[in-house]
Structure 1
Amino acid sequence: MERLRIGIIGLGWFGEIHAETIMGVPNLELAALCTRSPGRLAELGNKFNVKKTFTDYNEMLADPDIDAVSICTMWDQHTEPAIAALRAGKHVFLEKPIASTVADARKILAAAKETRGILFIGHIVRFNPRYRMAKQAIDEGRIGRIVALSSRRNIPASWTPTILNKIGPIVGDAIHDTDIMLWFTGDRVVSAYAQTTDVRGLKHPDIGQTMYRFAGGATATLETVWCMPEKTPFDIDERMSIIGTEGIIHVQDTFPNLGIVDNTRLHSPDTTYWPVFDGVRGGALRDEFSYFANCALKGETPTLGTPEDATAALEATIAAEESARTGNVIKIG
């Protein structure tokens, strides 16, 4: 089987998860790693038996034996490596959000249009089979015209102290549901209103509550709480309802589709996005990487995870954060 030789730029906790996932994709070869920390680079180079390691991503991009890169840097550090990788002729798997500003997202999009490599944005929820099934039912016309949507994406406080010093819950997590709502409706967000609540005094607020109006008239509400109690027995409380003129779809994931009770408490771990089996990550993230690899090897432009869709989701969530800061409804477009 033909294989895509891929390197990873950024080796934080999610860069390591990317590596664990790539190891389980038959047509991907984890060929290189890059991070600015020599200690971390050595640690993960040994863990994954990767010989090509770099502290400068430009050196990785100059290697003709690297076909593609996965970029897992912080969201405000996406623009330069993404553009450099595209201009080097690499295929690019760029984690969401596409960038930290709409202007930077558009720069990345422009670079992708001028280069031969494909650009895929890692909006993983589109690879969750429950949302894919919902999309299929919507496309079949089974619920008629969508008129209202609501979502919940809440996670325990223990996950978020470090994250909240880098990104807030609306752009950090509600962007997933924003992307899915744009996908389901095939529409665009024309206004956003949001409120936030600061619980722990970190750089960004712990809670975001968002409302959208779509061009076609549908409305949406999105709940994102990043401070569920420390002893919450599940990793994520994720739900979405889609109400149409002729039917309703309800999606519920993670809580409580698996319960494991040990001598500490009840656990309900992730079984959808990147569960671990025999040391290798599976689930939606593996499906996402398989899709990326297949598109790149076949020379096909992705129809999921497009930079255009990712930019629209970013624009809506940034507008929502502006609304929370100002107290105003923010018009888009």
Structure 2
Amino acid sequence: MGIIGLGWFGEIHAETIAGIPEIELAALCTRTPERLAAMGEKFGVKKLFRDYNDMLADPEIDAVSICTMWDQHREPAIAALQAGKHVFLEKPIASTVEDARAITEASKGSKGILFIGHIVRFNPRYRMAKQAIDEGRIGRIVALSSRRNIPAAWTPTILEKIGPIVGDAIHDTDIMLWFTGDRVVSTYAQTVDVRGLKFPDIGQTMYRFAGGASATLETVWCMPEKTPFDIDERMSIIGTEGIIHVQDTFPNIGIVDGTRLHSPDTTYWPMFNGVRGGALREEFGYFASCALGGKPVTIGTPENATAALEATLAAEESARTGEIVRIG
């Protein structure tokens, strides 16, 4: 497997692949020569490329992970699929619905599978919630609410590239679509600009689903400096016959040292002995299982990812215009 794009999350992908027995990290690609050399040395990878087309021409590369910026997904994803490679494409699937549909179309004639990295579907708490919903334990879903808030220190660079609604609320949007088996028909959103960056720091979103359920999503990317947790993540799912509440990360572990209380992520990509575990490892394990077993992707499909993208882009449009935006 090769990785295209070696920003901070491309490096995390590499640290995760290192722990998957079925996958060999065999190639790296980025346009920055210093970064390419450093990552090659760190992971002991000899095949180093500055042009992803050169990587895709290598017959020994079976699959690629694409971790470029979200507005640079279309070209490498389509090129990889046309080259017959298996593709692990980080979310969001693209920056426009048009690009998402083009990538999806390219996957239909490819020898390789296309998997979109919506990692929350591999969080065991959400998987258990989905199982309970499918068993009919809470009846018909009528309301959902979510919170996905992270410290300000994480986000100054990110907010020059993507906003909190498409950047993070897309996770909760995808999960809500998964839980309800429904589609979003309208959205209203508001944003708050705290630090004067390219994108606002806070997004508050509401959805109406075709079946009548409603949802609210809170995404704050400017939690104060001394916030003790990496992420404050919660979701409530209210049905006609029951309720499910998911709470992750804070406060499932507390470490007090000489500076403050820390509550690190133990779910998504925790590091143990230099290798990443958690939901990201589960994602790569699933991807490898589908690719090696010739099985179709049923989690993280491009169709699901496009629906989540369409809803969050509509929410951002609502925040810009102050109007309710209808979908479909």
TM-score interval w.r.t. the shorter chain?
A: over 0.9
Deviations 1:98-131 (A, max 9, x none): 0000000000000001211100000000000000
Aligned positions of 1:62-77 closer than 5 A: 62-77=57-72
Coordinate RMSD, CA, aligned = 0.3
**Percent of paired sites with the same residue:** 85
AA aligned to 2:20 is V
How far did residue 136 of structure 1 move? 0.2
Matched position secondary structure for 2:268? coil
Matched position secondary structure for 1:30? coil
Distance in 1 (CA, whole Å) between partners of 2:215 and 2:107 is 31
Q: Equivalent residue for 1:84?
A: 79
Distance in 2 (CA, whole Å) between partners of 1:319 and 1:142 is 32
Distance in 1 (CA, whole Å) between partners of 2:9 and 2:191 is 26
Matched position secondary structure for 1:28? coil
How far did residue 247 of structure 1 move? 0.1
Q: Equivalent residue for 2:311?
A: 316
Q: Equivalent residue for 1:212?
A: 207
Distance in 1 (CA, whole Å) between partners of 2:136 and 2:181 is 13
AA aligned to 2:163 is G
How far did residue 89 of structure 1 move? 0.3
Q: Equivalent residue for 1:273?
A: 268
Q: Could you tell me which of 241, 263, 272 is aligned with 2:236? A: 241
Structure 2 unaligned blocks of 5 or more: none
Distance in 1 (CA, whole Å) between partners of 2:173 and 2:225 is 27
Matched position secondary structure for 1:42? helix
Write out the 4+ residue segments of structure 1 that deviate beyond 2 Å after TM superposition. Answer: none
Q: Does 1:158 align with 2:125?
A: no
Q: Equivalent residue for 1:109?
A: 104
Aligned positions of 1:224-239 closer than 5 A: 224-239=219-234
Q: Could you tell me which of 137, 148, 151 is aligned with 1:142? A: 137
AA aligned to 2:94 is A
Distance in 1 (CA, whole Å) between partners of 2:295 and 2:75 is 24
Distance in 2 (CA, whole Å) between partners of 1:81 and 1:301 is 21
How far did residue 242 of structure 1 move? 0.1
Q: Equivalent residue for 2:167?
A: 172
Deviations 1:27-48 (A, max 9, x none): 0100100000110000010000
Distance in 1 (CA, whole Å) between partners of 2:55 and 2:311 is 34
Q: Equivalent residue for 2:299?
A: 304
AA aligned to 2:135 is E
Distance in 2 (CA, whole Å) between partners of 1:101 and 1:328 is 20
Deviations 1:57-108 (A, max 9, x none): 0000000000000000000000000000000000000000000000000000
Q: Could you tell me which of 255, 259, 274 is aligned with 2:254? A: 259
Q: Equivalent residue for 1:41?
A: 36
AA aligned to 1:267 is H
TM-score, with length taken from structure 2 = 1.00
Q: Equivalent residue for 2:196?
A: 201
AA aligned to 2:316 is E
Matched position secondary structure for 1:92? strand
Matched position secondary structure for 2:217? strand
AA aligned to 2:189 is A
AA aligned to 2:63 is A
Matched position secondary structure for 1:11? coil
How far did residue 200 of structure 1 move? 0.3
Q: Could you tell me which of 192, 197, 208 is aligned with 2:187? A: 192
Structure 1 unaligned blocks of 5 or more: 1-5
AA aligned to 1:100 is S
How far did residue 246 of structure 1 move? 0.1
Deviates more, 1:91-100 or 1:111-120: 111-120
AA aligned to 2:201 is D
Q: Equivalent residue for 1:286?
A: 281
Q: How many residue pairs get matched?
A: 328
AA aligned to 2:10 is G
Q: Could you tell me which of 72, 94, 102 is aligned with 1:99? A: 94
Distance in 1 (CA, whole Å) between partners of 2:225 and 2:139 is 41
Q: Equivalent residue for 2:21?
A: 26
Matched position secondary structure for 2:25? strand
Distance in 2 (CA, whole Å) between partners of 1:129 and 1:258 is 17
Deviations 1:207-251 (A, max 9, x none): 000000000000000000000001101000000000000000000
Q: Equivalent residue for 1:53?
A: 48
AA aligned to 2:57 is A
Matched position secondary structure for 2:20? coil
